[in-house]
Structure formats: structure tokens, C-alpha cells
Amino acid sequence: MAFSLIKFAFCGVIGGVALIQAPVAAAQDNAPIRLVVGAPPGGTTDTVARSIAQQLNKTMGRTVLVENKPGAGGNIAASQVAKSPNDGNTLLVSFSSFSINASLYKTLPFDPNTDFTPVSMLAKVPNVLVVRKDFPADTMEQFLDLVRKSPGKYTMALGSIGSSLHMAGERMKMMGKLDILNVPYKGTAPALTDLLGGQVDMMFASTMNVLPHTKAGSLKVLGVSSEYALDQFPGVPPIGASIKDFESTAWFGLFGPRDLPAAVLQNLNTHVARAVASEEFRKLLETDAARPQSSTPQELSAFVAEDIKRYAEVVKFTGATAD
């Protein structure tokens, strides 16, 4: 009799838990998923977010919306997601600035190490070093020789302080022992305009922004920031072939708020892996020379922790701060 009463009580507890969990699961299964993006429409981050949203719509059978919240190098979007309910319905599509900002900003409205649940890597995107069309060097070897002989003479346009493109330039200067003058701009467009006009000598840029100009002969590409050559720029070698161990690739990943339930996290990771592996996703990213890449939550967590340390070294070298 006592056993029956205990069994009945235990079943009642389980039933109560099930009743509590059922509405939560139903809400998680039926509510739209919002992908918050800390960048304006039209850029590479937005392209990655909309591409993954399109695929998740298919694989999950749920409505997946993209919400652009640009500002403060992605911190506004990240802060919103960090403060959201941990039900898996509000997620962050973030990028390299997630790691950069940890040392670029003295204070942040969140802790990048503890206030998020990494879900999966989405893609990695290299960039290229371009120079004005009449720059007196046609290869990375010639470029390095020329710049080292004239410290402080040449200028590098920066579309955004603290961006992955800015950090790529600083990493090249640090590792190549180069003295190049930075010229900050309020955006990539005006920086590129001045480079095309010959007012500045060089810049790091996304493939999407410079490919039409390199094809037209308006700019020269000297090197790519990845460890591998890019099909879009035949004959252009990795910068790492001239500056040992140089590599600077922008990354894009998916994060949820902290303490995302294990079952929700596993479900999201499984569907993201399918979406990233799809041929449609690969084709949508081809223009940006992006390489689809998924990961386990643990792999993304370890990558970000290491990336924060890696960028802290470069930020210290630059002396830059966003506060």
C-alpha cells in the first residue's frame, strides 16, 4: 500500500512536470524564431543571416525572421539576445566583432564568455588586400619591400574602427613589421571611393565590395587573408605565403542566451548543421567567397575563447579603444 502511494505521488509529480513543460515546448515549436543581427541590411553578416534563415525555414518547418539591430559593433544586438528568454526563439547571428569587442571596449553590457550559449559556427569569410591601380607594386613581395623601405609613407583606409577588416590590417602590420598610416572613414563605401580615386594607397576589403573593381582593373589585389587561394582571384596568393603564419578570416556564428536548455540546443544545432551543409546555402554565400562551416556548441565555445585572446593581442598593438 505504501509503495502504491509513493508510486502514485511520483507519477503525479512527473505528470505535473509534463504539464508545465508541455506549454513551453509547444511555444518553442510554434513561435517564430528571430535571428537578431548586429549589422545593417546588405552586408555579408546580413547575407549569412538571411541565407541561414531561409534554410532553417525549410529544415525546421518554422517561421524564421531576421531582425537587423546595427550599432556599437554588434553590441546592441548581442545585448538584446543576452537579455532574452532562453527558449531558443531569440538567437544572435554574430561575427568576428564579438571577439574583438571583448578587448576593444573597456565595458560591455554583457559578458561574451558567460552570457551566451554557442549554437554553431555558420561560415568563414576571407578578405583581400587591395591597392590603388597605380600602386608601384604588383606582388606581396614587392609590396613588403616597398613599404619597409619607406616607413610611414603609405596609407591604409579603414572603413570601420574595430572591424575584422581593421584588425586584418593591424595584424599584417604587426606580423610584417610594417609602418603604415591608418586613415579612418565612416563606412566602407567612402573608404573605397577614395581608394579608387587614389587618395589612399590600400585597404582590406570583402571580396563582394572589390570584385567588380578588380575585374575592371580599377584596383589591384595583392593577397588574400585566408590560408588558401580564392577562386574569385586566380593567381593571387595568400598573404601568409609572404608573412609567415598570417591569417585573418572573418567568422559568423549562431548564439542563444545563456543556459539554453540542452534539448533545445541539440535541436537547433542539428537543424543548423543540415542548413549549413545544403547546396543552397553554399551557393548563396559564393559571391562573398564565404565557406559554410558548422560546428558543435563545444567547438564554437572553444573557438571564441581562443579568438578573444588572439584579438586582444592585436587590439593592444593598435592601442585602439571604442569607449
pLDDT digits (tens, 9 = 90+) for 156-185: 999 888 888 999 999 999 999 999 999 999
Q: Where in the chain is the domain with CATH 3.40.190.150?
A: 27-125+250-318
Q: Is the pLDDT of residue 128 over 50?
A: yes
* CATH, domain 27-125+250-318, list 3.90.198.10, 3.40.190.150, 3.40.630.40, 3.30.1490.20: 3.40.190.150
CA distance 310 to 164: 12
Using one digit for the tens of pLDDT, what is the confidence trace for 221-259?
999 999 999 988 999 999 999 999 999 999 999 999 999
Distance CA 131, CA 57 (A): 41
What residue spans of the chain are helical by DSSP H?
A: 2-30, 44-60, 75-82, 97-104, 140-149, 164-176, 188-197, 207-216, 262-277, 279-285, 297-318
* CA dihedral of residues 33, 42, 96, 34 (deg, nearest 10): -10
- Eight-state DSSP code of residue 32: P
Number of Cβ atoms within 10 Å of the Cβ of 12:
10
296 in Cβ contact with 286 (< 8 Å): no
The CATH fold of domain 127-241: D-Maltodextrin-Binding Protein; domain 2 (3.40.190)
Position 42 scores a pLDDT of: 78
Specify the domain boundaries for CATH 3.40.190.10 within the chain: 127-241
CA distances from 111 to 43, 67, 68, 177 (A): 26, 22, 21, 33
Q: Return the percentage of the chain with pLDDT > 70, whole number.
A: 91
**For 154-189, b where at least 16 C-beta lie within 10 A, e where not — what string?**
bbbbbbbbbbbbbbbbbbbbbbbebebebbebeebe
Closest to 33 measured CA to CA, from 92, 120, 99, 98: 92
Rounded CA separation 131/222 (Å): 7
Instruction: Mean pLDDT check: name the lowest of 9-23, 72-86, 242-256, 299-313.
Output: 9-23
Average pLDDT value for residue range 185-193: 89
Confidence label for 15 from pLDDT (cuts 50, 70 and 90): very low
Question: For residue 34, is pLDDT > 90?
Answer: yes
**Residue in 6, 130, 26, 85 with CA at minimum distance from that of residue 258:** 85
Task: Of 227, 269, 248, give the one whose Cα is nearest residue 166.
Answer: 248
Mean of per-residue pLDDT scores for the chain: 89
What was the pLDDT predicted at 7?
41
Residue with cell 572591424: 163
